[in-house]
């Protein structure tokens, strides 16, 4: 399960990087696979109206989500470094 969560968070980090920070999380997940949408709608319902940067800040400081976000951020960072 944890790999699945990390995969979703990496996908959201990628999309936020591509789409920008001026949209709500609900708009960010609009064009994701249905399983990702369902997961986000179920687990992040309190954050759907927030911009991605605020969503990430909240889960980064959450006891429930911080360990997953840390792993996702590390993987995303490694991807970015490879692109440079």
pLDDT score recorded for residue 57: 96
pLDDT score recorded for residue 60: 96
pLDDT score recorded for residue 19: 86
pLDDT score recorded for residue 11: 97
Distance CA 17, CA 65 (A): 20
Distance CA 60, CA 70 (A): 7
pTM over 0.85: yes
pLDDT under 70: residue ranges of the chain:
1
* Rama region for 20: left / alpha / beta (φ>0; ψ in -120 to 50; rest): left
pLDDT score recorded for residue 21: 73
């Amino acid at each position: 399960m944890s790999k699945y969560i990390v995969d979703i968070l990496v996908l959201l980090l990628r999309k936020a990087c591509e789409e920008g920070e001026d949209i709500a999380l609900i708009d960010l997940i609009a064009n994701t696979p249905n399983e990702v949408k369902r997961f986000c709608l179920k687990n992040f319902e309190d954050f759907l109206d927030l911009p991605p940067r605020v969503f990430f800040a909240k889960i980064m400081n959450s006891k429930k989500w911080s360990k997953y976000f840390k792993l996702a951020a590390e993987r995303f960072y490694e991807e970015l470094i490879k692109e440079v």
